[in-house]
């Protein structure tokens, strides 16, 4: 499996179309040795990342990515310090695949900072340039730029004016943001992921223009998702392939999948890339043709299929970025080539064609380059498979665009990309970033109609900014606009521009916007979650992102008991041992205002069930040819922890019927054990721990223990039955520490 940390997009790319015959310099920027003390260490690692980024924008230089450098140093058991002796440079350069090493030291004493650096030729250990730069600590950004410019001059690179401007851009002028950024990198290197993300969020909050910190935060969050997604081979773990092989209709498709799974572990890069892409397309049913693995899909768990596709997509993107620019960077049916046939006798011939189609083997460089460029234009399908929220999706597209600039795309591609990104950043209300892109587009155009259109877009951003600045309830107005997919400014003005405070009208509009569509994934706390039922009775609390919330709100009005019960899947992977914590709130808050809120007044408390060991989440109905009726052959099944007001019950749960739209309508529960417990009140913190054959529930300061069946591995979820209101917040699900 590819190391997902290779995804970090802070480094340069090899130039495809203009690569000279001589080998391009490949530079490894070693960590700046800070000596003792957290401040110097954090400043040193932040400087390393900035120098890599700046040198990475220089044509003719190739940089070893910081994350990849860290991995190689660990693999080769090299010292993590930047103190490299010239005598060891040749060995280190060979192990790292670098022609040059930049080593240095960062010293912070009081209000002063000093950088001592040397650029060495790896092969000989020769010192090509030395630099000692000293100045005010608060002017660290000037010291870093001075060092970068000296290195560029020493390498004999002549920059064009536009390239000089790119190198000259200051990452941040805020020393505390700079140091906190370094702390985040240091913590992530030490595998302290959550504290690292917190530090990076702090850095971006302190300086909202600190783009390198924001990109790193987005990338680390994406890596975390991929690590979770890759934790289990979902289809194989549930034994589906072996079962499918016994089906006459599905056996050939199961054998094809098995062949692809083996190729996905190949040491051959072309085989691995093509297999991962094929699995993502097949399992995810990506594209307009929705008959992929049709026989398997009819009898197997389609929810697990999609999670299998997600895992393959995450691995493919990681591998494609590491191999850049060999393969397309996103998952797309147009690059699938052809549906690999179920006849394995023809597999070798079809496989050669599939690799040629995906990787452009034998094609001219321009066509291969254009294939990579085209793969960055539409990222939503791949972003959904990577479980990215809305902001991460836009940042992902921005990162792919930035990386591909090194391929020297046409002006059309560059302008199209910038215009698309300007619109996307506006959708996130990152208005300064959007305006900067529109302004850059206007500088490159002499078409009066084009300039008029761009001026109109800039004016629209200004109107949005002014509206948010002057709205009596700016946070609520901002959320409304974030959740709107169309030009909602006029509607927003009519709702938020005239209300002196947060009124019932405002909350009614937000409640409508916060609805959670069926089968759409949202981030709830630290987990991606899916709704399987009850799109009419499922919404969220406040959202800071279109696809992220801290609270799920579930309600069911009296008289609608015949409707399907709300059912959520919490998390993207099946689990055996885990700890889940969350809080239940049974009192509707003031900002929850559905159209028929009055019907909830006096409604009883609904029955809340935490689900575990769930399997066969979404298997298809099988038609019985003798009766022409569809039969539920493999219903959803698992374990249910029912959180009653006066007791806890552990039961088995089995799906027993669906409605005409395929929603799960009825379940059968068989009680395994009951324990008395006081779960009254409107606010209920709960901790559930599964370890081995034991389930422990902590509620109200007391612990309750249940014995579990032998095999309790599967997905986790939440079910709500009966009328009333309940909200789930502070959701966190963690694997046991190893």
Residue 117: strand, helix, or coil: strand
CA neighbor of 537 nearest in space, from 510, 562, 565? 565
Q: Are the C-beta atoms of residues 422 and 406 closer than 8 Å to each other? A: no
- Contact predicate 454/442, CB 8 Å: yes
What confidence score (pLDDT) does residue 246 get?
63
Q: What is the pLDDT of residue 502?
A: 67
Q: Helix (H, G, I), strand (E, B), or coil: what is residue 342?
A: coil
DSSP state string for 204-271: HHH-TT-HHHHHHHHHHHHHHHHHHHTT--HHHHTTHHHHHHTSTTTHHHHHHHHHHHHHTT-SSHHH
What per-residue confidence (pLDDT) applies to 415?
92
pLDDT of residue 17: 31
Q: Give the 3-state DSSP-derived string for 597-628, with helices as H, strands as E and coil as C.
A: HHHHCCCCCCEEEEEEEEECCCECCEEECCCC
Sorted by where each begins, the domain ranges of the chain are 4-229, 234-390, 471-512, 514-734
Which pLDDT belongs to residue 222? 67
Alpha-carbon separation of residue 426 from 19, 438, 463, 503, 557 (angstroms): 36, 11, 12, 27, 37
Element (H, E) at 424: helix 411-427
Q: Which are the contacts of 523, defined by CB distance < 8 A and separation ≥ 6?
A: 387, 389, 529, 545, 547, 548, 549
Q: Does domain 4-229 have CATH number 3.40.50.10070?
A: yes
Token digits of residue 161? 């004016």
Predicted local confidence at residue 586, as pLDDT = 92
What's the CA gap between 227 and 223, in Å, rounded?
Answer: 6
- Spatial CA neighbour of 696 closest among 524, 525, 577: 577
Number of Cβ within 10 Å of residue 107's Cβ equals 18
Output the pLDDT for position 237.
Answer: 43
Which residue from 257, 174, 156, 240 is spatially nearest to 212, judged by alpha carbons?
A: 174
The CA-based angle 119-120-123, given to 5 degrees, is 155
Q: What secondary structure letter does DSSP report for 440? A: H
Contact indicator for 208, 177 with CB cutoff of 8 Å:
no
Strand partners, 69: none
pLDDT of residue 13: 30
Number of C-beta neighbours around residue 716 at 10 A:
25
Write down the pLDDT at residue 498. Answer: 62
- pTM for the complete prediction? 0.77
Please report, for residues 228, 428, 669, 698, the alpha-carbon distance to residue 579 in angstroms, rounded to integers and kept in the order given: 15, 33, 24, 11
From the number of C-beta atoms within 10 Å of its C-beta (0-12, 13-18, 19+), residue 273 rates as buried
Task: Check: CB of residue 329 under 8 Å from CB of residue 375.
Answer: yes
Please, how many CA atoms are within 13 Å of residue 434, restricted to the half-sphere of its CB? 23
Q: In Å, how far are 171, 438, 636 from 614, measured between CA atoms?
A: 47, 49, 7
Rounded to whole angstroms, what are the CA distances from 28 to 53, 119, 189, 314, 696? 12, 10, 17, 27, 50
Angle at 21 between CA 20 and CA 23, to 5 degrees: 85
What parts of the chain have a pLDDT lower than 70? 1-24, 34-36, 71-72, 74-87, 222-247, 337-339, 486, 497-502, 518-519, 534-536, 559-562, 596-602, 623-628, 630, 737-738
Cα–Cα dist 488/484, whole Å:
6
CA distance 181 to 204: 8
Whether the bond between 325 and the residue before it is cis, its omega within 30 degrees of 0, is: yes
DSSP state of 736: P
Are 442 and 422 in contact by the 8 Å Cβ rule? The answer is no
Please state which architecture CATH assigns to domain 514-734: Sandwich (2.60)
State the residue for tokens 């051959």: 268
């Amino acid at each position: 499996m590819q190391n997902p940390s290779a995804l970090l997009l802070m480094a340069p790319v090899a130039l495809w179309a203009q690569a000279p015959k001589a080998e391009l310099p490949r530079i490894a920027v070693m960590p700046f040795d800070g000596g003792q003390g957290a401040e110097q260490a954090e400043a040193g690692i932040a400087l390393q990342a900035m120098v890599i980024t700046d040198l990475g924008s220089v044509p003719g230089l190739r940089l070893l990515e910081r994350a990849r450098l860290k991995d190689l140093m660990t693999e080769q058991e090299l010292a993590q310090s930047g103190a490299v002796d010239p005598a060891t440079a040749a060995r280190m350069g060979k192990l790292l695949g670098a022609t040059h090493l930049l080593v240095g030291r960062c010293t912070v004493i009081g209000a002063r900072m000093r950088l001592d650096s040397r650029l060495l030729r790896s092969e000989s250990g020769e010192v090509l340039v030395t630099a000692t730069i000293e100045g005010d600590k608060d002017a660290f950004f000037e010291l870093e730029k001075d060092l970068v410019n000296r290195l560029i001059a020493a390498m004999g690179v002549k920059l064009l004016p536009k390239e000089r401007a790119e190198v000259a851009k200051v990452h941040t002028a805020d020393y505390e943001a700079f140091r906190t950024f370094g702390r985040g990198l240091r913590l992530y290197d030490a595998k302290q992921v959550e504290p690292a993300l917190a530090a990076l969020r702090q850095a971006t909050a302190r300086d909202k223009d600190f783009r390198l910190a924001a990109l790193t935060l987005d990338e680390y969050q994406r890596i975390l998702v991929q690590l979770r997604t890759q934790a289990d081979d979902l289809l194989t773990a549930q034994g589906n392939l072996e079962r499918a092989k016994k089906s006459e209709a599905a056996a050939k498709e199961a054998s094809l999948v098995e062949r692809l799974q083996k190729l996905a572990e190949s040491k051959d890069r072309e085989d691995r890339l093509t297999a991962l892409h094929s699995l993502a397309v097949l399992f995810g049913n990506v594209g307009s043709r929705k008959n992929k693995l049709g026989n398997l899909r009819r009898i197997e768990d389609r929810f697990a299929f999609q999670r299998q596709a997600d895992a393959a997509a995450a691995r493919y993107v990681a591998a494609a970025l590491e191999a850049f620019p060999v393969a397309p960077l996103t998952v797309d049916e147009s690059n699938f080539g052809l549906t690999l046939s179920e006849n394995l006798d023809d597999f070798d011939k079809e496989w050669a064609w599939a690799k040629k189609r995906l990787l452009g083997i034998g094609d001219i460089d321009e066509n291969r380059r254009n294939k990579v460029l085209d793969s960055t234009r539409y990222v939503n399908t791949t972003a959904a498979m990577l479980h990215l929220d809305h902001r991460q999706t836009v940042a992902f597209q921005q990162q792919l665009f930035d990386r591909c600039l090194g391929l020297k795309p046409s002006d059309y591609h560059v302008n199209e990309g910038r215009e698309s990104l300007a619109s996307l950043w506006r959708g996130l209300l990152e208005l300064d970033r959007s305006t900067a892109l529109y302004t850059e587009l206007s500088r490159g155009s002499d078409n009066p109609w084009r300039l008029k259109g761009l001026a109109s877009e800039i004016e629209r951003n200004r109107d949005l900014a002014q509206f948010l600045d002057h709205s009596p309830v700016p946070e609520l107005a901002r959320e409304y606009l974030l959740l709107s997919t169309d030009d909602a400014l006029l509607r927003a003005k009519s709702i938020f521009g005239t209300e002196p405070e947060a009124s019932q009208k405002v909350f009614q509009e937000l409640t409508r916007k916060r609805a959670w569509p069926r089968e759409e994934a949202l981030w709830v706390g630290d987990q991606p979650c899916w709704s399987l039922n009850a799109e009419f009775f499922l919404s969220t609390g406040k959202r800071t992102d279109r696809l992220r919330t801290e609270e799920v709100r579930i309600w069911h009005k009296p008289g609608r008991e015949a409707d399907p019960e709300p059912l959520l899947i919490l998390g993207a992977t099946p689990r055996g041992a885990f700890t889940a914590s969350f809080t239940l709130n049974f009192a509707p808050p003031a900002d929850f205002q559905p159209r028929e809120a009055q019907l909830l007044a006096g409604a009883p408390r609904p029955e809340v069930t935490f689900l575990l060991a769930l399997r066969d989440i979404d298997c298809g109905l099988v038609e019985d040819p003798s009766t022409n009726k569809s039969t539920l052959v493999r219903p959803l099944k698992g374990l249910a922890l029912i959180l009653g007001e006066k007791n806890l019950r552990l039961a088995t749960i089995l799906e027993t019927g669906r409605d005409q739209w395929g929603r799960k309508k009825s379940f059968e529960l068989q009680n395994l054990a009951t324990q008395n417990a006081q779960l009254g009140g409107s606010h209920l913190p709960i901790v559930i721990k599964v370890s081995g054959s034991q389930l422990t529930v902590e509620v109200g300061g007391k612990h309750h223990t249940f014995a579990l069946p032998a095999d309790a591995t599967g997905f986790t979820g939440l079910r709500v039955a009966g009328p009333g209101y309940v909200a789930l917040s502070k959701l966190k699900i963690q694997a046991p520490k190893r």
